Structure 1
Amino acid sequence: MKKLILCCLLLAHFTSWAQVATVGKPLPEWKDGYMDLHHINTGRGNASFFIFPDGTTMVLDAGELDPTNARTTSKRNTPMRPNDSKHPYEWIVNYIKQVAPQKEKTKIDYALITHFHDDHFGSYYPDAPLSADKQYALTGITGVGSLLPIHYLLQRDYNYPVNLTAALKRLPAEMNYKKTWTNYQTFIGDESKKGMQALFFKAGSASQIRLQHHANSYPNFYVQNVKSNGWIWTGKDSSVVQHFPPIDSLNRKTWPDENALSNVLVIHYGPFAYYNGGDSPGNVFLGDPDWRDVETPIAKTVGPVDVATMDHHGNRDAVNENLIKTLQPSVWLEQVWTADHPGHETLIRITSPYLYTAKRDLFATNMMEANELVIGDMIKQSYRSLQGHIVVRVLPGGKQYYVIILDDSVPSIPVKSIFGPYTTKASQ
C-alpha cells in the first residue's frame, strides 16, 4: 500500500512537471492562473513579455541597437538571435505571437519602457523599415507597437531633469539620438490616434498596472511601481520621496544620467515577488556624486524577492552590495548583449556567501565567449544556463515556480532545459 501511494505521488509530481514543460517540445500554452515572465533574447538589447494570471499582457522594454554602428556588429557584442533574416523587433513579435494567450490576435495591454536608451527602446537608423503610413521608422518598441496594438504605453516623465524634446532641439539635426527621439515621439502621436494611451509611470502606485480581464479572481496579484526618475516609493501607501537633490538646468553635472532615471517595479503574485530595475546604478565611482547610487534606497523599500533581474545587465556600476544582501533572490536573471555583461566584480558580489548564505541560481540570455575567457571558470560554476530565452513560469497561487530555457537558435523556440520547482520564500 505504501509503495502504491509513493508511486501515485511520484506520478503526480512528474505529470505536473510535464505540464510545465518538456525538453525538445514547444513550451505548453499559458493557462489561466499561471504567470509567465519571458525574457527574450535577440542579441540586440532587452525585451521581456509578461502574461499575468488572468491573461493581461505586458511588454517590458523592446530594445534594438543601431545595426549601422560599428560596435553593434563587432566581436564585442552578441550576434543576432536566431539569425538576421528578420529585424530584432520582428523576432520579438514572432516570439510573443507564439506564447501569447490570443496568438495571432495578440494585443499588448501594457508596454513599459524603463528608460530611453537604444538597447531598451530602439535606435533610429537610415534603412529601418517604415510604418504602414510611412510616418515613422520601425525599430524596437516602435516596430513592436506597429505590429501589436498597445493599449497603455508607460514611460518616465521626460520633462525631468529638463524637457528632453526641447533639449534635443538645440543639438545638430544629424545626431542619431535626436532622430531616435523624434521618431519615437512620432510613433506615439501616430498610435495615439488609433487608441494607444501614453502615460507617465507613477512611482509609488500599486494600481497603475492592473489586471484587465478578471481581476477579482486574483486578489493576491499586484504590480508595485517602486521608482521613476528620482521619485522612490517609501514602502507606505503610495507615498514617495525625491532621491536627487535640486538640479541646475544650466549645469549638466547636476543632472542624473538616463540609467539613474530608470523605472523600477516589483511584480507580486501571492507569496511570489519579481524585481526589475532597468539600468539602475548602485556603485559610486571616483568623481560620481553619492546620489548616483539609487539601488540602496530601492533595496530598502523593496526587501526580499524570489527572482531579480540584474540591474544594468550586471554591469560594473550596478548590483551593489546593499541590493544583493537585501533582495536575496533565489534566482538571478541577466539579459546580456555585450562582453561588459557581467562585470567580474559584479559576479563576485552576486555569488558571495558573505552577503547572503542562501542558495542562488544564475541564468544568462547570451553569455559571450569573451566573458568566459576573461572571467574564467567562475562563469560556468556560477550559472545554470548561459544561452537562451529565459521563462519564469509561476504556478497558480504563486507558491512555486520554474525557470525554463527556450532555444534561441531557432524561430520555433523549443524547450531547452528546465529548472525547479522553486518554492517561494514566503511559502517556506
Structure 2
Amino acid sequence: GGQPPVWRATVMVTAFLLASLLFRQAPAANSLGIAALVLLVVNPRQLFSPSFQLSFAAAGSLALLVAPLIARLHAIGTWRPTPEHPYPPQGPETIRRWAECLFWDERTFQREQKTSPIRFRLEKASLARTLNRFRLQPLVRALALSLLVSSVVQLAMLPLMIEYFHRVALIGIVLNVIVGATIALLGVVAVSALALSLWKAHLAAYPAALGRWLTDATVASSELALRSPTLSFRIPDYSGAGVFVYIAYWAAVLYLAHRLHAWRPLDPPAAHTWPPLIARRRERIQRARRWALGVALVLLALNLGLLITHPFPPPRPKGWLRLHFLDVGHGDAALLELPDGTTMLVDAGGEIGATPAGMPGEEEPEFIEDRPPIGEVVTSNFLWSRRLKRIDFLVPTHAHADHLRGFLDVVRNFDIGCVLLVRRPWHDPLFAAFLQEVRRRRIPVVEIRQGDRLRLGRTMTPQVTATVLWPPPSDRQPETWENEDSLVLRIQYGDVTILLTGDIERAAEEALTVSGWELQSDVLKVPHHGSRTSSSEAFL
C-alpha cells in the first residue's frame, strides 16, 4: 500500500545493498532505473501518476545532474599534479575558481609539501586560500552545495509543478535549504526528548517545547514567504501544441545531463596525446559539441522563460461572448468571457460551513480536513485551463459560503482587476475574510447599486452591458448578506441577453416581476440552484 516514492526508495536501497553483497558498484542512476522498471512492471499505470513522476524527477535530477556535477567540481577543486592527471583541469576559469573555493585544502597541501621530495607552488584562487585559512570552507561548501542541489531539483521539477500545481516558487530554492537544516535540527531535538523521557519525563518537556517552536516557526515563515506574489505565483499550464514547450525543456535538460557525464575535466588536451591529424579532428568535434551545448543552454533559458511567464494570451474567437457555468457541487460559479478578452467571474463556489484559514473572529480548528477547497481544484483549475492569469471583475452575488468561499482562492491565485460589491455585510466572518484578502492585495473595490448599467470590455461593437436589477438600495449596511439580497445582473450583447439571478427567492422574484425592469432573456440561470423556494411560475 506504499506510495511510489516509498517503493522507489525501497528498491533503490535494496539494489545498493545487493550490489555491496556481490562486491559490485551501484551507481545511483542504475539503481533509479531498476526502481522505475520494477514499479512499472508491477503497475504500468503508475507512469501517469503525479506522485511517480515527481518522485523520479527529483531523484533523477540528483542522480543524473547533481551527483556527477559535484564529483567533477571536487576533482577540479582538489587537483594537484599526479602521474594520472599531470595537466591542469580543462574548463572555464570561473568554474575552476569556484570549485577551488569549495574544495581546495591549502593547509593539507602545505603539510604534504614539507615531506615531499619535490616541492612546487600551485596558483589557486585567493578566496579559496582565505576561506581555508579561517576555516570557513566547510560552512561555505555546505551552503553552496545545498543551494546547488535545491536549484537543480527545482529546475528539473518545474514543468511538473506547473502542470499539476500551477505554481512557480522561486523562493523554494532558499526555503528547501532552510527547512532541510531545520528538520535535521528537529531530529536532534526529538532524539534528545526521547532520551530524557526515559530518565526524567519532566525534563523531556523542554526539548519538546523547542521542537514545537521550531516546527511552528518553520511553517509560519514558509507560509509568509510563499505569500509574496513575486517569489511564489500561480500560472496556467500548457496544453495542445503548447506541450512542445515541456518537450523542448526536457530535451535541453537531458542533453545537458549527457554532456555533463561526458565531461572529463582532468583529461589531457588532445594536442598532447594524439597525432596532429586526429587532434585536429577531435578539436573540430569539441567545437561542434561546445556549439551544441550553447544551443542547449539557450533553449533551456528560452523555455524556462516561457514556462515562468506563460506569455501567450488565451484564445479569443472573434465576435464570440462565452459564458461558462462551472460544476462546483452545491454552489454557483460562472465565467463570462467577452470578445475582447475581458473576463468577469460571478461567484466562485465553495463548501458550505468551510472555515477559511485566517478568518477573523474564528478560532483555528484543532484538526483541519486535508481536502483541497472547491476554489482551488475546480474554479481556479478551470480558469487556468482557459489560459487565464487575470480576472477583470469579481462579482459575488451574496455572502453564503457556496458562492463566496471560492473567491478566497481565486484572489490568491490570479491578478484581479476589481471587485464589484452591492452589499458590505461587515459582521459576516466569511465576507470579512474575503474583504481582508482583497485589501491585502490592494485590489480596487467598486460599489454598485440597483439601476447601474455597467459597460464591460474596452472597444467592442456591439457593447456588452450589465444592468443591476437587484437588490434595492439600503439605508444601512446589513449585518449579513442573505439570499433575498442576491445580486441580479442582466447581461446584454447585441440581441443576446443573459439573466444571472444568484439565490433570490420568491419574494425577490415577485418584486422583480412588478418592478418594471426588463426580465425577458435568452439565457436564465435558475435562482437558488433550482430549489423549491425559487423559480416561481410568475417569474418564469
Higher strand share: 1
- Name the TM-score class by shorter chain: 0.3 to 0.5
Which protein is bigger by CA-based radius of gyration? Answer: 2
Higher helix share: 2
TM-score, with length taken from structure 1? 0.45
TM-score, with length taken from structure 2? 0.36
Q: Which has the higher contact order (CA 8 A, sep 6+)?
A: 1
